[in-house]
Amino acid sequence: MILGLDISTSITGATILNKKGEVLLNTSFDLRNKKYFPSLYEKANHISEMLDMYYIKHFFEHIYIEESLQAFRPGFSSAKTLMTLAKFNGIVSYVCRRQFGVEPQFIPAISARKTCGIKIPRGTKAKEVVLQYVLDNEDNFLIEYTKHGNPKPETYDRADSLIIARAGHILWKEKN
């Protein structure tokens, strides 16, 4: 089984694929409630507990995680935000390694999209293009909308985790 993760401190997306590339699970973990998740450690613990539930049914042989951003870009996330995300990515990666005995492999978002054949036209938002690609190519991908007709935020994280898992599956197949 392949586990693909899009790790974020607000909503983490998770996808499980079997060796044939069939989606067994596509879900998200909402970590935005500061009352329940006041620190990165509580958030990581929640992800650990949730993944442990799925692990009982599915033995993870490969874990692919979206690599955290490596450089500060003006107009995007601040340096502090990038550091927090990298720290959280490291914590969850370590939890996965320790919990499942599988060393995670990291895939940059751009590489994952390219591996899956997704092209982001200049001036468009990558998350929206990825979501449209997933909607066009994944028959069972569920999407919920807000009362204003926009995709719920977790939809993007689930789509991103699916692309990471798909890219991991393609890379795994190429090796074998």
Average pLDDT, the chain: 91
pLDDT band of residue 169 (cuts 50, 70, 90) is very high
- Looking up residue 66, the CATH number of its domain turns out to be 3.30.420.10
Domain that includes residue 77, residue range = 2-175
The answer, yes or no, to whether residue 52 has pLDDT greater than 90, is: no
Question: Which residues have CB under 8 Å from 60's CB, separation 6+?
Answer: 1, 2, 3, 16, 100, 102
The pLDDT score that the predictor gives to residue 89 is 94
Report pTM: 0.92
Count of structural domains within the chain = 1
What do you get for the CA distance between the two ends of the chain, in Å?
15
For residue 98, give Cα distances in angstroms to 49, 58, 79, 116, 156. 13, 16, 29, 29, 27
Segment 84-105 mean pLDDT: 93
Instruction: Write the DSSP symbol of residue 146.
Output: -
The answer, yes or no, to whether residue 6 has pLDDT greater than 90, is: yes
